[in-house]
Amino acid sequence: MRYLREWDWDGFARASIVLGAAIRAVWVLVLHSPIDHIYSDSKTYVDTAIHLVQLATPDRFDAFYPPGTRLLLAIPLAL
């Protein structure tokens, strides 16, 4: 029991967060690229974000989905 009390839980938490972020980055950037896996509703979000970046006139179907997601997706697409 004394060993558990002396354990550096803050260091363990920091290391776990860094390891989790590294695994997530490898997953997203290398193993499961989001560009290659656009389907269903995500396709609609990406399409409306592309229309937003191209300054196309919004149509009535753009109102079916929340605007925040397309705004966030439009930022990297504009770069």
Tokens 């937003």 label which residue? 52
Whether residue 44 is found in the same domain as residue 69: yes
Distance CA 27, CA 25 (A): 5
Tell me the residue range of the domain where 55 lies: 38-79
> Looking at the 3D structure of the chain, how many domains does it have?
2
Q: What is the CA radius of gyration of the chain?
A: 20
Whether residue 57 is found in the same domain as residue 75: yes
Q: Can you tell me the mean pLDDT for 49-77?
A: 87
Whether residue 10 is found in the same domain as residue 27: yes
Whether residue 42 is found in the same domain as residue 79: yes
The predicted pLDDT at position 58 comes to 80
pLDDT in tens, 7-41: 788 888 999 999 999 999 999 888 987 778 888 88
Whether residue 2 is found in the same domain as residue 16: yes
| CA distances in angstroms from 34 to 3, 14, 26, 59, 60, listed in the order given | 43, 27, 12, 26, 27
Q: What angle do CA 53, 21, 26 make, to 5 degrees?
A: 70
Whether residue 26 is found in the same domain as residue 2: yes
